[in-house]
Structure 1
Amino acid sequence: MTDSGSQPSEDEVRWARLTDKQRACLDLLVERQTSKQIARELGISKQAVDLRLTNARNILGVPNRDEAALIYARLRQTYDRIPCDPIILAPRPALMSFDSPNGGLPEAIHDRGSPTNEPEGSRPPFGDFWRRDHARVRRVWIMAALLVGLALLILTGLAIAQALTRLISG
């Protein structure tokens, strides 16, 4: 709109007349892509790209692709702005004081991992098993348990294979 707010400018009218499909082609034209490259990018035929660009050139009132790209780039800087939409954000939580009577962390932090404070289904399966910061001894026990489980799985598979072999051979 102009300063008086009564009549839209010629540039604003031209911008408003461009379709989304023409703008998509012009966006890629500004990046110096050929019609063939634009067609591949948008998944349409080269003829459709040429038709969209020709119609866009007519709307912009320019004789060639290069001038269309220049005019469109200028118009895009002016009119292709995201409108300001007020977003209501939640207030920031108050910072917690770490001055506790026992000299350690406040009780709220100690209770954080208890299942009663978290909604149902928010904890990962197996609890803290997949954490990356386990102590060395705990990691050794986890690896040992995994190896025992793997060994049992292999032995079970071998036992099944042996039973099937006996069954087939008679």
Structure 2
Amino acid sequence: MEGSQSSELADRACWDRLTEKQRACLDLLLERKTSKQIAIELDISKPTVDQRITTARNILGATDRHDAARRYARLKRTYDRITYDPMDIPSAPTFVPSDFADGDPSEPMQANADGGIPVGSWGTGLPFGKIGSHDHGSSARLAIVATMLVVMVISLLGGLGIAQALTRLISG
């Protein structure tokens, strides 16, 4: 009994020493992915993946990658349990009385795809239309950047002109 308790303590110590990044690599190793595939999925370099797996292998006391995967899988079954499944149950919908006479506005407002700024008869709800969207072509992006640069240069020159006029007024 005492041997199994010390084994459990050693297992827990190994589990606690593994970092989240090492666990992420080991999780993908459990899916039998290569270091290159893991690197692509985690958006890191292959040597970084190899380093994390080697360090995890040393922590687990494994002889190779497959042994590390087996030991990690055993520890994961024991220590990576979700004790409860958090569930967010939305409250029941309630009806809100309408401010309109017949309950229907003349120009209904619609929500954007992301549920953000409402859309009405004025377009997308953004002050400058679709400038803030990310689906512009390269020529449209270039035109937007050029316009922004021109506005910044004009603002800077206007500020310098005002500063020069104030300097002349103060110096008399």
TM-score by length of 1: 0.48
Which structure is higher in RCO with an 8 Å CA cutoff and minimum separation 6? 1
Q: Based on CA coordinates, which of the two structures has the bigger radius of gyration? A: 1
TM-score by length of 2: 0.48
